[in-house]
Amino acid sequence: MSPLRPRFWETVPLKKMTPAEWEALCDGCGKCCLNKLEFEDTGEVAYTNIACRLFDDATCRCADYANRKVHVPECVVLTPKTLARAAYWMPATCAYKLLAQGRPLPAWHPLLTGDAESTHASGQSVRGRTVSELTVADDDWEDHIIEETP
């Protein structure tokens, strides 16, 4: 893994980041791995506590990140090109979304704190609060809507 440039997120455009820098932007909150409901009549996106079948609730990470598209074809692989289309459903605190909007990282972000656990300690992650999509019938998803908003 290549070294990260100091405070790269403040000086390097998203399109020019190295793969390691791009990946380092992820705060590990796990919110992007939650299933969402989009209401056709309003366009509103509602988060559920139902996580992707590959989501590890204990670590807040994908259990097979490198091969996720093989197991979950509908998984959105976030890149500078896909970011614009995906931003509407991403959490408001997402570093990718914030930087694309010209906004700073939140104070609890691991790149600022130097602590990978800071996202969880600040209450910004879904660690320990999800259920697997394999255990919830599609018809019951509305019963799992949470207050989180994109």
CB 52 within 8 A of CB 65: no
pLDDT confidence band for 138 (50 / 70 / 90): very high
Q: Is residue 132 part of a domain?
A: yes
Q: Is residue 85 part of a domain?
A: yes
pLDDT at 7: 97
Enter the pTM of the model.
0.92
Q: Is residue 13 part of a domain?
A: no
Q: Residue 81 and residue 42: Cα distance in Å, rounded? A: 26
Q: Is residue 8 part of a domain?
A: no
Q: Is residue 14 part of a domain?
A: no
pLDDT digits (tens, 9 = 90+) for 68-124: 999 999 999 999 999 999 999 999 999 999 999 999 999 999 999 999 999 999 999
The domain containing residue 82 runs over which residues?
A: 30-144
pLDDT at 149: 63
